[in-house]
A and B are shown apart, each in its own frame.
Chain A
Amino acid sequence: MRRADHKVYIFKFRPSSHSDDYTIVATYRDAGRAEKVRRALERLLKDMEKHPDDYNVDWSPDEARILLDGEKVWFEVYTAGYLEDVESVIRKVAKPENIECYRYYQELRIRVRVPKGLTAELALLVLDREEAEAIRWFRENCGEPKVIDCGDDTQILEWFYSGDGIYGEDEDTLYIGFEFRIEDRDNWEVWEIK
């Protein structure tokens, strides 16, 4: 008699109706394990080329990118979520400590110049509503800012952000629950690091 109540792990990625730039970041206990997974993912891409009928994906292997950074393995591709084969390799070859999945992954450095001595907490009370909301968002999502003394009567609050895409470079706008236009504000700067 077979068990009828199997433990079913829900694979994280499910196809949807529209495509996005997906970035999966899997973190392993050490760099050796990560390298092993990177090699297995390379083999997976080659296998997809040789045996396309065994894969149900909406992307071609040459569109995917695999990166290794210490104990982290990155897999990037434009897809509507057809990532089950990738996830299978990531979970089987070595046990990941953590798997994160992002859409339109970005790494940003955000700086806002404020009067000297103004803490992020006080800035919420002093600055205009949109600026205060933006600062609140970055404090909630990136933690307390680094404070850089400018040597005059101002200082810079700086955050580092990594995650789903929130910044449109062309429009110079942050999408953080509302549209926060940077180009209208001389005291704000955003750099896209990745």
Chain B
Amino acid sequence: MNERMKRAENLLREIAGMIRGELENRMDLIEKITSRLEVTPEEYMELMVSEVVTNSEIYVGAEFAFPPTQSHNPEKVKNKALKLLEKKLRRDCRLFLTI
């Protein structure tokens, strides 16, 4: 793995940790959502982290955030990931809490 890919992978790990932290801070909401689902809060959080980190805008952003390309900015990729998480949580609240 070259240096750029190593740094991209580290950024994605950092984003995964950040998303996980955001979710843990909202455990009440997560428990409410998962009470309507078959997955546990832990499984839900793992799925959500994966959904954000493997989103094309996030992993492509991370891949191109380091030299030689550097067409994206790591901080902007992190912010984008947080915004994406908000969208996905809003989606899940609408889909699973309004039934």
**A interface residues (Cβ-Cβ under 8 A, vs B):** 2-11, 14-15, 33, 40, 43-44, 47, 51, 54-56, 84-85, 87-89, 91-95
**Interface size range of chain B in the complex:** 20 to 34
**B interface residues (Cβ-Cβ under 8 A, vs A):** 12-14, 16-18, 20-21, 37-39, 44, 46-47, 49-51, 53-57, 87-88, 90-92, 94-96, 99
Taking A8-B12, A47-B95, A54-B91 as given, write out 11 further A-B residue pairs in contact, using a Cβ cutoff of 8 Å, ordered by the A residue number.
A2-B17, A2-B21, A6-B46, A11-B50, A14-B56, A51-B90, A51-B91, A55-B91, A84-B51, A89-B95, A95-B39
Please give me the 6 A-B residue pairs with the lowest Cβ-Cβ distance, nearest first: A9-B50, A6-B16, A94-B38, A11-B54, A15-B56, A54-B87
B-side contacts of A87, CB under 8 Å? 51
B-side contacts of A15, CB under 8 Å? 56
The 22 listed contacts between A and B (C-beta, < 8 Å) are: A2-B17, A2-B18, A2-B20, A4-B13, A6-B17, A8-B46, A8-B54, A9-B47, A40-B95, A43-B95, A47-B91, A47-B94, A47-B95, A51-B94, A54-B91, A56-B56, A56-B57, A84-B51, A84-B54, A91-B47, A92-B44, A95-B39
Smallest beta-carbon distance A17→chain B, Å: 11
What total of A-B pairs shows CB separation below 8 Å? 81
Asked whether, in the complex, the Cβ of B55 is within 8 Å of the Cβ of A6, the reply is no
B-side contacts of A40, CB under 8 Å? 95-96
Please name the residue on chain A nearest to B34 by beta carbon: A92
Asked whether, in the complex, the Cβ of A6 is within 8 Å of the Cβ of B13, the reply is yes
Please name the residue on chain B nearest to A82 by beta carbon: B56
B-side contacts of A85, CB under 8 Å? 91
Smallest beta-carbon distance B62→chain A, Å: 12
| Alpha-carbon gap, A90 to B55, bound state (A) | 17
| Alpha-carbon gap, A56 to B83, bound state (A) | 13
Smallest beta-carbon distance B42→chain A, Å: 10
Q: In the complex, which of the residues A8, A10, A93 contacts B37, with contact meaning CB atoms closer than 8 Å? A: A93
Smallest beta-carbon distance A87→chain B, Å: 8
Please name the residue on chain B nearest to A33 by beta carbon: B38
Query: Given the known A-B contacts A14-B54, A14-B56, A43-B99, are A6 and B47 also in contact in the complex, defined by CB atoms under 8 Å?
Result: no
With most chain A CB atoms within 10 A of its CB, the pick from B18, B20, B38, B96 is B38
Query: Given the known A-B contacts A8-B49, A11-B50, A93-B37, are A88 and B88 also in contact in the complex, defined by CB atoms under 8 Å?
Result: yes
